[in-house]
């Protein structure tokens, strides 16, 4: 017998879990920017509810441009970006992780998996977020904020965008599963506007394209 579906509403007139589609509709109908999904697993539904979006990066653009970012206790902030080079058929990711103690960690990697090559730099964008979450988990942090410039990084995970390809579906499932163990929040930043760590993540990804002896994949 198929499992009964439950509905999780993250943004709406009311939020929470709803047992019927009619209740979900009532909670979201007419609400601009409603975010909701149907689940057959209650744990996955709860993880979806716990994900959050931060409105914007620091309001102080001068500090942001200078690389001054205040990281709250018990979490890390990770700037992620992706890159792609058609001539060599490779995608790459870059990630800068900031801790509350003022430490900075950098991760990057590249690959040439055919499915990843098809979606170009998007493969790198997703890998950046996945690696940031994995790093935070391995180092015992209970929360991570992903700061990104490509909307799919967030919207495939939260269900605002439907994951229509095998890799975007795999990415969304991976992040939703991780969210059962660590709180994941998202924050969009504008690309190429002088944001210090966003630009650094971009450069890390571009440099990683040259490492043709490795093959990271989603």
Question: 39: domain CATH number?
Answer: 3.40.970.10
| Domain match, 11 and 81 both | no
User: What's the pLDDT tens digit per position in 113-130?
Assistant: 999 999 999 999 999 999
- Look up the CATH number of the domain holding residue 132: 3.30.420.10
> Dihedrals φ, ψ of 82, to 5°?
-130, 160
**Predicted model pTM:** 0.82
**Does residue 56 form part of some domain?**
no
Answer yes or no: do 42 and 67 share one domain.
no
pLDDT at 58: 47
Q: Is 68 helix (H, G, I), strand (E, B) or coil?
A: coil
How many domains is the chain built from?
A: 2
Q: In which residue ranges of the chain is pLDDT below 70?
A: 1-2, 52-61, 64, 192
Residue 74 and residue 40 share a domain:
no
**Residue with tokens 């994941």, as numbered in its chain:** 184
Shared-domain flag, residues 112 and 29: no
Q: Which residues pair with 18 in a beta bridge?
A: 7
Residues spanned by the domain of 174:
61-210
Interatomic CA distance for residues 2 and 67, integer angstroms: 51
């Amino acid at each position: 017998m198929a499992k009964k579906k439950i509905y999780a509403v993250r943004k709406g007139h009311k939020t929470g879990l709803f047992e019927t589609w009619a209740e979900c509709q009532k909670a979201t109908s007419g609400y601009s920017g409603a975010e909701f999904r149907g689940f057959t697993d209650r744990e996955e539904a709860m993880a979806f509810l716990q994900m959050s979006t931060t409105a914007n990066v620091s309001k102080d653009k001068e500090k942001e441009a200078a690389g001054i970012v205040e990281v709250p206790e018990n979490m890390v902030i990770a700037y992620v970006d992706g890159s792609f080079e058609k001539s060599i058929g490779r995608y790459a990711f870059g990630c800068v992780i900031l801790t509350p103690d003022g430490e900075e960690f950098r991760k990057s990697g590249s690959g040439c998996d055919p499915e990843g090559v098809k979606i170009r730099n998007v493969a790198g964008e997703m890998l950046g977020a996945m690696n940031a979450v994995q790093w935070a988990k391995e180092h015992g942090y209970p929360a991570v904020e992903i700061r990104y410039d490509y909307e799919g990084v967030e919207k495939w995970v939260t269900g605002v965008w439907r994951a229509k390809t095998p890799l975007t579906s795999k990415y969304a499932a991976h992040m939703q599963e991780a969210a059962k163990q660590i709180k994941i929040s998202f924050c969009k930043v504008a690309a190429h506007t002088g944001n210090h760590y966003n630009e650094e993540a971009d450069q890390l990804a571009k440099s990683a394209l040259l490492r043709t002896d490795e093959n990271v994949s989603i």
